[in-house]
Amino acid sequence: MNMDLDQSFLRELPKVDQLLKHKEIDNLTATIPRRIVVEAVRTAIDEMRQMILMGSYAGDPEQILPWVIRRTVEIAQSSTRSNLRRVINATGVVLHTNLGRARLAQSAKKAVETVADACCNLEMNLNTGKRGSRYEPVENLLTRLTGAEAALVVNNNAAAVLLALGTMAKGKEVIVSRGQLVEIGGSFRIPEVMEQSGAVLVEVGATNKTHPRDYQSKISDNTALLLHVHTSNYRIVGFTKETTVAELVQMGREAGLPVMSDLGSGFLVDLARYGLPKEPSVQETVAAGADIVTFSGDKLLGGPQAGIIVGKRDYINQMKKNPLTRAVRIDKFTVAALEATLREYMDEEKVLHRIPTLSMLTQPVKDILNRAQELKQELTPLLDSLTTVEIIPGFSQVGGGSMPTAELPTYLLALTHRQLPAQELATRLRMGELAVVARVQEEKLQLDLRTVQANEIGLLAQMIIRAVREECGS
Ligand SMILES: *Cc1c(COP(=O)(O)O)cnc(C)c1O
């Protein structure tokens, strides 16, 4: 390394104060808080100093100041961007847990907006002027839609299971099939939730087979509950047998024990007509006699994050009195969004179009093809000869740990660039001004149009063009 050269380069590094007075930097402070600009100046200078010291700066000394200014602007602007921001979901995973699961219906979004910057009757009965319950706006809708006697809503389904077990079985035994001791993403494991709730887990059967007699042999004076867990995120195929909720109810009645069913992705409309696997709905599970049914608000229901508990009034009332309910209670945004979402279900015809999760799952494949063609048409005239765009058939997923075996036929826009690896394109799209998350398969960047909204096509095209040109242009 040439020490003299280093020194002369280092002398060209601007001072923080000096840079802050520079017109371009000073202009930034009109829209960006000064402390962020100062931090950006420091970071940019440090980056250049490191490059010089490592001998990796290859430019002229006169170019140092302009580089630091450009870099400062870049850093300052990017650090004012929201950390949580909009993403275009081109993965084809309808309920993408990392992308916020369900998108709300327009009506639910409006309901959230209404209560956001105004007061609302969250806990006031406007007829009497007295204290009301925050659960009331959704309780009635839930009982009407599911056929259950009573309902309660908490922060998420994990909390719903915890609260139900803690209320119905604390210090007592809960019998569960070995095949249902599931882990659902981010460390929600039935045995651990059971432990937290203070209930004692009694496992029965083998991983692939559990018979009614397995439960019967474990029922004792210490048993408080028979639990059925919907194995939402995996399937044991082949030589299998699970005891149904109806069979558990039969046994429970004989032994005087309640039955709880944790459905995970509870849904209210039968999606089997649209080619999705046949699974028990919330209504069917209630009708089968389950005393308590728990499910998520933001999986197949297509609403806000919530844990919905429906079932027999006695048990729901006991849960409402449990101090844990206060710790896992929902806020006004959840009440607002959930009420609006549930109201959509009162109209069975329109609900499939109004709840984005349902419309993405049931849309005709030709509509997806149309969107793929529209995107291709926007892109083709703007891309250079290095890029190839084609439309290929593929499969989307339900996601959110729901219906893992469902294969939803879809169309993908596949993009290949002769000099850019697909992974690099995916990274650029993810880091673009409007983030786009896509898949990479067979060395192609693949965009699944099932989860892209019709009004996102133009924006998506722009972001793709930018990602491709970034390297060719600069
Ligand atoms: C997803 C799921 C949960 C957890 O629900 P969250 O709403 O994510 O807390 C619990 N049980 C089952 C069976 C699930 O599928």
pTM: 0.91
For ligand 1, atom 12: residue with the closest CA: 264
Of the candidates 354, 378, 395, which is a domain's last residue?
A: 354
Q: Mark whether 134 and 267 lie in a shared domain.
A: yes
**Spatial distance between the Cα atoms of 282 and 23, rounded to a whole number of angstroms:** 63
The binding-site residues of ligand 1, defined as CB within 6 angstroms of any ligand atom, are 156-158, 161, 184, 188, 229-230, 232, 262, 264-265, 296, 307, 401
For ligand 1, atom 5: residue with the closest CA: 157
Torsion of CA 413, 419, 420, 422, to 10 degrees: 50
pLDDT, position 223? 98
Q: Is the pLDDT of residue 247 over 70?
A: yes
For ligand 1, atom 2: residue with the closest CA: 264
* Residues 460 and 88 sit within 8 Å (Cβ to Cβ): yes
Q: How far is the CA of 158 from the centre of ligand 1 (A)?
A: 6
Q: Which residue intervals of 81-179 are DSSP H helices?
A: 106-116, 136-146, 157-169
Q: Mark whether 367 and 409 lie in a shared domain.
A: yes
What are the two backbone dihedrals, phi and then psi, of residue 93, each rounded to the nearest 5 degrees?
-90, 110
Total domains present in the chain? 3
What's the CATH number where 410 sits? 3.90.1150.110
Instruction: Work out the pLDDT band at 361, boundaries 50, 70, 90.
Output: very high
Q: How far is the CA of 331 from the centre of ligand 1 (A)?
A: 19
The minimum-distance atom of ligand 1 relative to the CA of 182 is 13
Q: Mark whether 143 and 245 lie in a shared domain.
A: yes
Q: How far is the CA of 184 from the centre of ligand 1 (A)?
A: 6
Of the candidates 315, 339, 354, which is a domain's last residue?
A: 354
Instruction: Work out the pLDDT band at 278, boundaries 50, 70, 90.
Output: confident
For ligand 1, atom 14: residue with the closest CA: 264
Q: How far is the CA of 221 from the centre of ligand 1 (A)?
A: 30
Q: Mark whether 344 and 437 lie in a shared domain.
A: no
pLDDT, position 333? 98
pLDDT, position 235? 61
Q: Mark whether 378 and 232 lie in a shared domain.
A: no
Q: Mark whether 377 and 444 lie in a shared domain.
A: yes
Which phi-psi region, left, alpha or beta, contains residue 185 (left: φ > 0; alpha: ψ -120 to 50)? left
Give 147-177 pLDDT, tens digit per residue: 999 999 999 999 999 999 999 999 999 999 9
Q: What residues make up the domain containing 210?
A: 106-354
Q: Which two tokens stand for residue 294?
A: 């728990």
Give 66-82 pLDDT, tens digit per residue: 999 999 999 999 888 89
For ligand 1, atom 15: residue with the closest CA: 264
pLDDT, position 277? 87
Q: Mark whether 329 and 296 lie in a shared domain.
A: yes
* 208 or 259, which is more confident: 259
Out of 153, 232, 338, mutate this one to test ligand 1's pocket (max ligand atoms within 8 Å of CB): namely 232
* The dihedral sign for the CA sequence 14, 15, 19, 22: negative
* 334 or 180, which is more confident: 334
Of the candidates 334, 354, 374, which is a domain's last residue?
A: 354
Lowest-pLDDT range of 205-209, 258-262, 296-300, 355-359: 205-209
* Residues 150 and 312 sit within 8 Å (Cβ to Cβ): yes
pLDDT, position 187? 67
* 103 or 190, which is more confident: 103
For ligand 1, atom 10: residue with the closest CA: 264
What's the CATH number where 213 sits? 3.40.640.10
Instruction: Work out the pLDDT band at 472, boundaries 50, 70, 90.
Output: very low
Distances (CA, A) of 408 to 79, 193, 384, 395: 39, 32, 32, 5
pLDDT, position 245? 95
Q: How far is the CA of 262 from the centre of ligand 1 (A)?
A: 8
Q: Mark whether 259 and 172 lie in a shared domain.
A: yes
pLDDT, position 207? 72
Q: Mark whether 346 and 376 lie in a shared domain.
A: no
Give the chain's mean pLDDT. 93
Q: Mark whether 255 and 350 lie in a shared domain.
A: yes
**Spatial distance between the Cα atoms of 228 and 110, rounded to a whole number of angstroms:** 36
Q: Mark whether 383 and 404 lie in a shared domain.
A: yes
The minimum-distance atom of ligand 1 relative to the CA of 401 is 15
Instruction: Work out the pLDDT band at 473, boundaries 50, 70, 90.
Output: very low
Out of 153, 157, 308, mutate this one to test ligand 1's pocket (max ligand atoms within 8 Å of CB): namely 157
**Spatial distance between the Cα atoms of 201 and 191, rounded to a whole number of angstroms:** 7
Averaged pLDDT, 205-225: 90
Q: Mark whether 230 and 144 lie in a shared domain.
A: yes
